[in-house]
Amino acid sequence: MLCRVGQMRRCAASLSQAINQVAASRQKHTLPDLTYDYGALEPHINAEIMQLHHSKHHATYVNNLNVTEEKYQEALAKGDVTTQVALQPALKFNGGGHINHTIFWTNLSPNGGGEPQGELMEAIKLDFGSFQKMKEKMSAATVAVQGSGWGWLGYDKESGRLRIAACANQDPLHGTTGLIPLLGIDVWEHAYYLQYKNVRPDYVKAIWNVINWENVSERLQTAKK
C-alpha cells in the first residue's frame, strides 16, 4: 500500500513538473512588425494614429495576453478551475485584440485600394452582386457597430460563401461566428479619432483606399483549403 502511495505521489510530482516545463517553454506572443512605415498610409490614416495604434494599443493586448496566459497556466497546474473560469474574459479580450490587429495590419497597404481581382472578385460578384454592393454593405455594417468593435468580410467554409459580420469589442470573428476572417475594419475610436474625430463614416470611406486586396485574396485561398 505504501509503495502504491509513493508511486502516486511521484506520478503527481512528475505531472506537475511536466506542466511547469510546458508553461516555461511556451513561446510568448510578440508584437508583429509592420511591412510599411507608420506614415505610409497617409493621407487616409495618419502616422500618429498608426504609431499609437500599433506600438501602444496592439502592444498592450500582446502584453496582457502573455500575463493572462501565465496566470492561466498556473491555475491549470494547480487544478484551480475557479481562476481558470475567471480568466476567460481577459483571454478573449486580449487574445482577440492580438488576433484582430495582426490581421488588420496585413489587410492594409500603401499600394492598396482599387478593386480585387481574380477569384476574390468573382466570389464577391456571386455573393453580393457587385464589388460596389459589397463595399456599401460592409461599410454600413461597420459604421453601425455600437460603441467599439469591428466590421468583417469573412468566409463561411460550410456554405462556401462570403459573409459580412460585425463583432463587438475585440471578439474574434472565427471564435464568435465561425467565419474565417478575410478583411477587418477596426472601428475602435483609437483607430481613427485623432484624424476623423467622431465622424466614423469618413474614416470607413477613406480606409478602402488602402485595402490590400492581394492579402485578402491570399486569405480566401487559404480558407478554401
Binding residues for Mn(2+): 53, 101, 186, 190
Q: Which residues of 120-147 are buried (b: 16+ CB within 10 A; e: fewer)?
A: bbebbeebbeeeeebbeebbebbbebee
Q: Beta strand 149-156 with 161-168: parallel, antiparallel or unpaired?
A: antiparallel
Q: 52 burial class (0-12, 13-18, 19+ CB within 10 angstroms)?
A: middle
Binding site: which residues?
53, 101, 186, 190
Q: Which three cell numbers stand for residue 130?
A: 457587385
Residues 65, 6: Cα–Cα separation, whole Å: 38
List, as one string, the DSSP characters of 64-100: HHHHHHHHHHHHHHHT-HHHHHHTHHHHHHHHHHHHH
What single-letter DSSP state applies at residue 27?
P
